[in-house]
């Protein structure tokens, strides 16, 4: 759990402190949004011991009483809390680093003036005050708190901690003016500086009495704390006495109306679809998503733990699962949006159990609802290709016709021979970028010039990029199919704006070869040449634009190997 001190003021009087691993504020100068490079406190302990408070002899005796109401601190992350007023000046923070991995807080009495707690770099129970807020004078500058008061002495008692790390207890403290080093987080108290005193004050950030599950004598059903005591076999239900009995469908089921206009996909590859409504519905498809008709009441689908086509409904606090019915998927696009119809009977259900958290058990004597031929559509894209089109985007990321196979696509969506302008390529440079700390991405950049290429005042960016972390020597055949790229690809950005990094039109490889004659595998540096490359204008689906331009590059070479 890293220590950071940044405080961000947000409009409409909302103050936000970042969670563990968040931002850090410079002590009494300008704030910064960069994470510190300092190491974690070295004296933290998973099981802090109770300490008797000390009273250092150098504690000031003429401190100002702190006027903040400490009774209800706001929890901003697992280990951080704050108290402030309407003006957000001053702001008191309490931070805990007793468990570096989870931020868990332990009950006990802690000495705020102990040796370890005397510096922000090593404290496990940290209390400080930020005050004297300075508004930024211009957009180029940042606002900040000009003074920090750090704990000098006192006692912090945590009487109660709940599962969410909300705390209740008391605090007595002297906070003395100090500075905290941005890099080391070491604390230095100001000579003859001001101080604030907190006389014994009680606080409670929202501690809740822990819920004790009640499962004695129960085979199934709710445990009273949001969990489940147990589950029943298929064909059984859980009755009012929390026993497993043979399940019988109620004599009548009310018809439920779902707002299918809010039906949408969680995203391609998930097979999860839902409505943002109450009553609401979710459809989950765990096999390959395909057009077809599915029986919701077959042996596999009668339990949530084994279903491959699963439909759940919610109506207020009641939850329902399929008992019988039919799911018809009649529409499916490349992004796995679906459309179709749903018909079925759904019974009130407990979800979860001792054997499997996904198991479902019908509520014996509970309610049931039915859906009669409801239509749903999460946004299926309908392809559009007019009669006679041989090529071009169908509007859904696919192509019309069979493609042109080495020819261009005209504005009339017909396959015609290429007529491309020639492109001259300048010197290549090896570029490496780190995207959000996830991986380093390498590519070669060169600015281009030549007949008909964008604006003369704005360079065009020609790029050889890599889909591999290991580059080898040899000849690479450039594929025009974006979905079947090899380890290397070529792209051109027309009218590339260097200052603002806007790309302009995009051209992607259609054919050609790259010959890597020498390679440094560890650095991705290389030497090579290409006798011919053709790039064509593409749309957002990486498909050739009908009537779009194309460029041809001949006899280029590169050498990014450093001496």
Block mean pLDDT (10 aa), the chain, length 563: 43 30 30 32 39 48 89 93 94 94 92 96 96 87 92 97 94 96 93 94 93 89 81 90 94 94 92 95 94 95 94 94 97 94 96 69 94 95 94 92 90 95 90 74 80 64 89 91 80 79 85 95 91 94 92 94 83
CA distance 433 to 431: 7
CA distance 489 to 335: 24
What is the percent of the chain with per-residue pLDDT over 70, rounded to a whole number?
A: 85
Confidence at residue 4, expressed as pLDDT on a 0 to 100 scale: 52
Confidence at residue 272, expressed as pLDDT on a 0 to 100 scale: 96
**Do 430 and 444 form a contact (C-beta atoms < 8 A)?**
yes
CA neighbor of 152 nearest in space, from 121, 175, 184, 182: 175
Confidence at residue 329, expressed as pLDDT on a 0 to 100 scale: 97
CA neighbor of 95 nearest in space, from 180, 14, 34: 180
Confidence at residue 36, expressed as pLDDT on a 0 to 100 scale: 30
- The token pair at 394 is 């169908």
**Do 458 and 494 form a contact (C-beta atoms < 8 A)?**
no
**pLDDT tens by residue, 17-74:** 333 333 322 233 233 333 333 333 333 334 444 444 444 445 556 799 999 999 999 9
Long-range contact set of residues 495-501: C-beta below 8 Å, sequence gap at least 24: 495/454, 495/455, 495/458, 495/460, 496/447, 496/458, 496/459, 496/460, 496/461, 497/458, 498/458, 498/459
Backbone angles phi, psi at 126, to 5 degrees: -120, 125
Confidence at residue 34, expressed as pLDDT on a 0 to 100 scale: 33
CA distance 424 to 443: 19
CA dihedral for 405, 542, 477, 511, sign (positive or negative): positive
CA distance 429 to 524: 12
Long-range contact set of residues 268-273: C-beta below 8 Å, sequence gap at least 24: 268/334, 268/335, 268/336, 269/336, 271/336, 273/338, 273/376, 273/378
3-state secondary structure 116-133: HHHCCCCCCEEEEEEEEE
Long-range contact set of residues 130-138: C-beta below 8 Å, sequence gap at least 24: 130/5, 130/7, 130/25, 130/90, 130/91, 130/93, 131/89, 131/90, 131/91, 132/89, 132/90, 133/9, 133/87, 133/88, 133/89
Confidence at residue 16, expressed as pLDDT on a 0 to 100 scale: 32
CA neighbor of 461 nearest in space, from 528, 510, 506, 419: 506
**Do 477 and 493 form a contact (C-beta atoms < 8 A)?**
no
**pLDDT tens by residue, 202-256:** 999 999 888 888 899 998 888 877 778 888 888 899 999 999 999 999 999 999 9
């Amino acid at each position: 759990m890293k220590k950071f001190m940044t405080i961000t003021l947000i409009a409409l009087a909302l103050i936000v402190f970042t969670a563990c691993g968040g931002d850090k504020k410079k002590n009494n100068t300008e704030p910064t949004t960069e994470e510190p490079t300092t190491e974690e406190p070295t004296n933290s302990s998973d099981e802090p011991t109770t300490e008797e408070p000390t009273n250092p002899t150098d504690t000031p005796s003429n401190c100002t009483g702190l006027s903040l109401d400490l009774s209800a601190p706001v929890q901003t992350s697992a280990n951080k809390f704050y108290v402030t007023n309407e003006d957000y000046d001053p702001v008191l923070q309490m931070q805990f680093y007793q468990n570096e991995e989870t931020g868990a807080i332990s009950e006990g009495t802690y000495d705020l003036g102990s040796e370890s707690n005397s510096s922000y770099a090593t404290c496990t129970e940290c209390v400080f005050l930020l005050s004297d807020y300075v508004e930024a004078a211009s957009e180029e500058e940042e606002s900040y708190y000009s003074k920090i008061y750090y704990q000098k002495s006192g006692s912090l008692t945590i009487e109660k901690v709940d599962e969410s790390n909300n705390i209740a207890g008391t605090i007595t403290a002297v906070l003395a003016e100090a500075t905290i080093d941005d890099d080391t987080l070491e604390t230095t108290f100001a000579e003859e500086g001001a101080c604030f005193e907190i006389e014994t004050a009680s606080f409670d950030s929202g501690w809740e009495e822990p819920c004790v599950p009640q499962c004695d004598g129960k085979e199934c059903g709710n445990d009273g704390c949001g969990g489940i005591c147990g589950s029943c076999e298929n064909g059984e239900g859980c009755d009012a006495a929390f026993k497993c009995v043979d399940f019988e469908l109620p004599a009548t089921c009310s018809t439920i109306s779902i707002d299918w206009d809010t039906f949408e996909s969680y995203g391609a590859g998930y097979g999860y679809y839902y409505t943002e409504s109450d009553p609401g519905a979710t459809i989950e498809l765990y096999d390959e998503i395909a057009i077809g008709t599915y029986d919701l009441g077959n042996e596999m689908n009668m339990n949530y733990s084994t279903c491959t086509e699963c439909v759940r409904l919610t109506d207020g606090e009641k939850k329902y699962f399929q008992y019988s019915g039919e799911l018809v998927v009649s529409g499916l696009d490349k992004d796995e949006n679906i459309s179709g119809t749903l018909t079925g009977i759904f019974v009130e259900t407990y979800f979860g159990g001792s054997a499997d958290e996904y198991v479902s058990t019908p509520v014996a004597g509970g309610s049931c609802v039915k859906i009669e031929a409801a239509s749903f559509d999460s946004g299926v894209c309908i392809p559009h290709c007019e009669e006679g089109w041989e090529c071009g985007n169908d509007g859904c990321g696919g192509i019309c016709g069979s493609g042109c196979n080495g020819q261009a696509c005209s504005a009339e969506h017909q396959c015609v021979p290429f007529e491309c302008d020639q492109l001259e390529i300048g010197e290549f440079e090896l570029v490496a970028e780190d995207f959000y700390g996830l991986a380093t991405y390498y590519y070669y950049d060169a600015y281009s010039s030549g007949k008909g290429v964008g604006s003369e005042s704005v360079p065009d960016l020609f790029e050889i990029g890599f889909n591999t972390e290991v580059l080898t020597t040899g000849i690479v055949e450039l594929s025009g199919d974006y979905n079947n790229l090899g380890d290397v690809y070529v792209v051109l950005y027309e009218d590339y704006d260097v200052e603002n990094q806007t790309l302009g039109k995009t051209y992607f490889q259609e054919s050609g070869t790259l010959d890597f004659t020498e390679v440094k595998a560890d650095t991705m540096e290389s030497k090579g040449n290409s006798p011919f490359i053709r790039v064509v204008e593409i749309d957002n689906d990486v498909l050739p634009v009908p009537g779009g331009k194309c460029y041809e590059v001949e006899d280029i070479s590169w050498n990014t190997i450093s001496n």
